[in-house]
Amino acid sequence: MHCSKLFHIVKDHECDIFCNFDKDLHKEVRKGIIAAILHTDMIKHNDMVKELGLLYQMNSDTFDKLSPGSVVNESQQNVQTTLNALLHCADISNAMKPWELCRRWADMVLDEFFAQGDKERELGMPVQFLNDRTKVSRPNSQVGFIEFVIAPLCEVCVQLFPQLDGLADNLGRNICKWNETWQAEANPDQAERDKVNARTQKVSLRCKALLRSKAGMPGAEQSPR
């Protein structure tokens, strides 16, 4: 749908950003755009994280020097991998935004999930776990979402582009805020608190290790906060 809508919009001559492209270039750009949009599908998430991690491991010196261009432009595959990663990262970036935006977006996403769950229940269908408002704790679900989904992606993206370390800074703060919110709302027993505190601390430390000001990387004094 997103691909179709995009190319429908650019058919309007006032919106046609590709109007000066020749046929071959237009075909190549269209192919790249479609691939990037399809890679926002969460089914591709884990493979993408592995691919980005491998790209960093093979070229860590170049990326650490804040000069990714030579690696990215080395091949069309690297260009496409980078485009896929940046679009996917932007698509699920709410957890990496400042806390107020993070919480607002999480609430809207969960409201959508719960509305779907309500409809599934109404139709007599099995209610998918994340869609069941009677079982899902909003803040606790976000701790898990950050830990298992967002943190690995954030880590490899910031390794590739250290200038994005502000995302890691926000993420480390946000998982702590979600943990605090969960404890205040759920009042769990001490054993459960200790378990989630340990998980939260582990992610927070991983995020801090990515900050240029903490890691002593080039350009640390320019790290945005």
pLDDT, tens digit, for every residue of 57-73? 999 999 999 989 999 99
Give Rg (Cα) of the chain.
20
Q: What is the pLDDT of residue 2?
A: 86
Predicted local distance difference test score (pLDDT) of residue 212: 85
What pLDDT is recorded for position 223? 44
Q: At 77, list the tokens.
A: 């595959």
Q: What is the pLDDT of residue 214?
A: 52
What are 93-135's pLDDT values in tens digits?
A: 999 999 999 999 999 999 999 999 999 999 999 999 899 999 9
Report pLDDT for 213.
Answer: 66
Name the amino acid, one letter, at 190: Q
CB atoms inside a 10 Å sphere around CB 3: 14
**Residue 165 backbone dihedrals phi, psi, to 5 degrees:** -65, -15
C-alpha distances in Å from residue 225, one per residue of 35, 168, 170, 212 = 33, 10, 9, 11
Q: Is the dihedral of CA 142, 147, 153, 157 positive or negative?
A: positive
225/222 Cα distance (integer angstroms) = 9
- Listed as ranges, residues in the chain with pLDDT below 50 are 215-216, 218-219, 221-225
